[in-house]
Structure 1
């Protein structure tokens, strides 16, 4: 492979990462608008119901898994599915009922640092002094955002409900990441399709019991659901995995910070305001997360 081929492959990987994170950012903005008309449970259920068939088709034709082996591995996928695709998205959409997409994405930016803490506690992974400093800085940034630049007010007034729900969301994603380290032998798209099916099966009884199947009539909401079901749920994941064949994982992980950047840019473009506290806190979080992962980034060729 020539240097030109490597450069072209790297460029393609970067473009794939940019598209994946842009679509994930769209989930915050469009999801925030959708929860004004549909419940978080319905939005979560419909999102993965829409994504299910495309994921199964992609898994079948791209990865060609042994479906009997997939069926045997399914029990090991249930818990990750409940904590990741189900709980995280339900809590995210619940948070978006009470807070802005910008605020939610800024809190979500702390997730890599929270995962590092959990990995140190439960997986005995060593944290360097630089990483500890990065975590402290990122946590300070989150508190700055939650308090609107006045941390002392948290003692007197506590946290907003949307902020608490968003912290709960990144906690469930941290659990998902830790327990998801167990090897199942399934290819990535196939594993996601199985988790997606698990979410659809798990949410269906609750949707039916609460109000029965509800098909939105508003065209704008329908298009929002189609976007959320196809782009953040299917396209982002496929693009991310394609990028990982071109770019080392540690470097690709840095691109996750662009979810926050894109969410802010989209929101501001649509007329939402960015407060000074959010700007300062967001920079603190992003810098803290970068320092938490800086060693892995440096060691990657």
Structure 2
């Protein structure tokens, strides 16, 4: 049974990632997606290294033996996902990008079930459907038929690429033997090292004011350090499928941030947010066990049906 801290970690990770989209949107025009991605990981790397040393006391030599996988993970989750997301928001509407992004939890759960045989419980399936319905209500303002009539432009394709690489990043994350914070530190360092010369060669002028640089610092610390660390820890604990459902919290958090900035929230958005939370709760419900013999239990789902023997 996972600790309640794991679910808190997932909520915080998605809260900070929501802030990344809000702040990143405000920075658009003053810094390119490549520059923002490179600077965020350059800022994050020393903090992640310090956290890894304090929390995990890693054997760096052992961790570096997995360097090919860390390289792949850095390329997927830290470089490609960020670049694809920023490119998507530069070429499409928020509705198009968010609708594509809302498929991420479902895709993670399905791929996890197919490739690493993570079992999808009935309550988890119901939670996936419920939270996805909530996301679609929020994004379409209750006009669910827009899901079928919206035309996806090049930005939608960029966002689809972001969804796919994040799915692979999340699934592969469970195969690493390296501790999660140490993994994040190594991958962040790889991303910073790879992007630095590329950014110097092709990056244009940065025209941010002091407030803009504070925004860059936020992105380099909260979404990059804390979210990545908390996400990797949670995936290790509860699996990619169950963790992925929490990505549906980002539209809810984004709506709340908009409310804090003076944008009114509609009844449809409130209903959608309630469905998202209900879906997360359904997916997070633990399987209960009943002892039947020494060293053996039978697991039951929420309806009391037998699930599997546990030994």
**Using the alignment, how far apart are the partners of 1:269 and 1:259 within structure 2?**
15
Equivalent residue runs for 1:51-66 within 5 Å: 51-66=44-59
Report the Cα offset of residue 46 of structure 1.
Answer: 1.2
| TM-score of the aligned structures, taking structure 2 as reference length | 0.72
Report the Cα offset of residue 153 of structure 1.
Answer: 5.6
**Residue 199 (1) aligns with residue 199 (2):** no
Equivalent residue runs for 1:257-272 within 5 Å: 257-272=248-263
Asked whether the 8 Å contact 2:37–2:79 carries over to 1, the reply is: yes
RMSD: 3.8
| TM-score of the aligned structures, taking structure 1 as reference length | 0.74
Greater relative contact order, per chain length (Cα 8 Å cut-off, separation 6+): 1
Residue in structure 2 matched with residue 169 of structure 1 by the alignment: 162
Would the alpha carbon gap of residues 172 and 283 (structure 1) be closer, same or farther in structure 2, given more than 3 Å must change?
Answer: farther
Asked whether the 8 Å contact 1:105–1:263 carries over to 2, the reply is: no
Report the Cα offset of residue 179 of structure 1.
Answer: 2.0
Report the Cα offset of residue 226 of structure 1.
Answer: 0.5
**Residue 221 (1) aligns with residue 203 (2):** no
What's the CA shift string for 1:1-22, capped at 9, x where partnerless?
A: xxxxxxxxx8877776655443
Equivalent residue runs for 1:1-301 within 5 Å: 19-97=12-90, 98-100=92-94, 108-136=101-129, 158-183=151-176, 185-211=177-203, 214=205, 216-238=207-229, 249=238, 253=243, 257-272=248-263, 287=278, 291=282, 293=283, 297-299=285-287
Would the alpha carbon gap of residues 140 and 236 (structure 1) be closer, same or farther in structure 2, given more than 3 Å must change?
Answer: closer
3-state SS in 2 of match to 1:65: coil
What's the CA shift string for 1:198-223, capped at 9, x where partnerless?
A: 212332343233236x5555212211
- Structure with the larger helix share: 1
**Using the alignment, how far apart are the partners of 2:274 and 2:62 within structure 1?**
45
**Using the alignment, how far apart are the partners of 1:105 and 1:208 within structure 2?**
31
Report the Cα offset of residue 117 of structure 1.
Answer: 0.9
Would the alpha carbon gap of residues 300 and 84 (structure 1) be closer, same or farther in structure 2, given more than 3 Å must change?
Answer: farther
Give the aligned length: 283
Residue in structure 1 matched with residue 300 of structure 2 by the alignment: none
What's the CA shift string for 1:116-153, capped at 9, x where partnerless?
A: 11112222344345544554555566666776655656
Unmatched segments (≥5 aa) in structure 1: 1-9
- Structure with the larger strand share: 2
3-state SS in 1 of match to 2:120: coil
**Using the alignment, how far apart are the partners of 2:234 and 2:139 within structure 1?**
33
Residue in structure 2 matched with residue 6 of structure 1 by the alignment: none
- Could you tell which deviates more after superposition, 73-82 or 153-162? 153-162
**Using the alignment, how far apart are the partners of 2:174 and 2:168 within structure 1?**
10
Unmatched segments (≥5 aa) in structure 2: 290-311
Report the Cα offset of residue 45 of structure 1.
Answer: 1.2
3-state SS in 1 of match to 2:65: helix
Report the Cα offset of residue 186 of structure 1.
Answer: 1.7
**Using the alignment, how far apart are the partners of 1:107 and 1:207 within structure 2?**
28
